[in-house]
Structure 1
Amino acid sequence: MPSYREALVEYIRRAALPVDKYGHQPRLYSLACEVGRGLVFDDDVVFAAAWLHDLGVFIGHRPEDPGALAHWDHVVYTVDRVPTILRDAGFDESKIPAVLDVIRTHQPADEPASVEAVIVRDADILEQLGSIGILRAVAKVGRDTRYPTFTSVRTVLERALGTLPGKLRLDTSRRLAEGKTRTIALFLSSLAVEDQGELH
């Protein structure tokens, strides 16, 4: 592994709080490589963006005040901090703008232009689906202003199931999404049977 990669992994290992936030980065990079198989892309850019894109959601990097957190733009914060982190890690200076472009357009509502940005965005959408998507949403209950209750998680999963697969750009991503969407649909169907109207 190139030394800059070791430096970024170690940086995120320390910064990713709560600790369950750490797993998203290696999974995202692995998914991005799977999504991008057969395409020509800059793996350095994909690696750096996958590992750093969520810096602004970590405790210690985001506001603690609930009111400020509700209006927090973690992408703006991340884009501001990433160039220094990359330089300190010995990353190729000429590729930093491409990394920032990927980070700026990694969310489902964004319109990525580069192949690296499309790959990372598709992979990030896939991380919101399937068993991993369910776990990531449930883990936020009570500690994220968007997820005060289990009912709020159900709403988020229903919205993910209804909207996210249609936002995927690549055929490979769509194929990978098929099993993940079935998993969420089955979960929501089972939940509707089991909750007895008292999920809260």
Structure 2
Amino acid sequence: MRPSYRQTLPEILRQEALPVDKFGHQPRLYRLTQEIGEGLSYDDDVVFAAAWLHDLGVFVGHRPEDPVALKTWDHVGYACRRVPELLSTTDFPAAKIPAVLDVIREHQPHDNPQSIEAIILRDADILEQLGAIGILRNVSKVGRDTRFSYFSEIIPVLRRSLETLPGKIRLDSTRRLAEARIAVLSSFLSGVKAEAGELLY
């Protein structure tokens, strides 16, 4: 019988993810972990919970609205404080909650993940920052995120992703999945430069 938390966590996130387009990151991320982890031995319960709950602190209603406070907001710390409470309301195995928190703490590109579960989720999160999805997620911030008022301000973010993220990937399976995404992002940036030059704004 399928554990009910596999249905409950997506339902919770569908309600909590604001703006609503942020919801799509979670199911895509979990699907990527399955592709990356195929043939590997790891705890999918831990990866599933971490994939669905890792970004709780970036949603409107959870993060600060004040731009100054937002600049120093620790969304990972917030998620780690809230996740045990959320998981305890489901049938998720209580003994695995500490492992979920470890994965959430180590899911960002600058982190040094120690467990295979954390490596898989971090690799998947890197893939979500590359390719067409990475472009959509970043460009959608222009005009609604206090950090980005102009398209020209998001191009350096995409360029940094292209230059730095592929080298942070840990697993061979992720590198294979990344190849097409890297090509898409590279082509996009070249196209923007060719079409707009210095007149992007």
For residues 5 and 73 of structure 1, the distance between their equivalents in structure 2, rounded to whole angstroms, comes to: 27
Number of aligned residue pairs: 200
> 5 Å matches for 1:24-173?
24-173=25-174
CA contact (8 A) 2:103 2:121 kept: yes
SS of alignment partner, residue 95 of structure 1 = helix
Unaligned runs of 5+ in 1: none
Alpha-carbon displacement from aligned partner over 1:126-160 (angstroms, at most 9, x marks no partner): 00000000000001112223323211211001000
Q: Deviation of residue 109 (structure 1)?
A: 0.1
Letter in 1 for 2:108: Q
C-alpha displacement of 1:40: 0.3
1:6 deviates by 1.0
Letter paired with 1:159: R
- Does the 8 Å contact 1:70/1:145 carry over to 2? no
Deviation of 1:27 after TM superposition, in Å, equals 0.2
- Other structure's SS at 1:89 match: coil
Which AA in structure 2 matches 1:117? A
Amino acid at match of 1:49: A
CA distance in 1, matches of 2:72, 2:179: 33
**Residue type of the alignment partner of 2:124:** A
Alignment of 1:172-187 (within 5 A): 172-187=173-188
Question: How many angstroms apart in 2 are the aligned matches of 1:140 and 1:46?
Answer: 27
* Cα distance in 1 for residues equivalent to 2:6 and 2:156: 37
CA distance in 2, matches of 1:195, 1:106: 35
Separation in 2, partners of 1:37, 1:62: 34
- Amino acid corresponding to residue 3 of structure 1 in structure 2: S
Q: 2:183 is aligned with what amino acid?
A: R
Distance (whole Å) between structure 1 residues aligned to residue 162 and residue 148 of structure 2: 17
Residues 111-120 or 189-198, more deviating: 189-198
**How far 1:124 moved relative to its partner?**
0.2
Secondary structure class of the residue paired with 1:80? helix
Q: CA deviation at 1:198?
A: 1.3
Report the CA distance between 1:180 and its aligned residue. Answer: 0.4
How well do the aligned residues superpose, as a CA RMSD in angstroms?
0.8
Tell me by how many angstroms 1:169 deviates.
Answer: 0.2
Cα distance in 2 between the residues matched to 1:195 and 1:122 = 32
How far is 1:90 from its partner?
1.9
2: CA distance, partners of 1:182 / 1:145:
29
**CA–CA distance in 1 between the matches of 2:147 and 2:170?**
27
| TM-score normalised by length of structure 2 | 0.98
1:147 and 1:125 map into 2 onto residues whose CA distance is 21
Instruction: Quote the offset at 1:75 in angstroms.
Output: 0.2
Report the TM-score when normalising by structure 1. 0.98
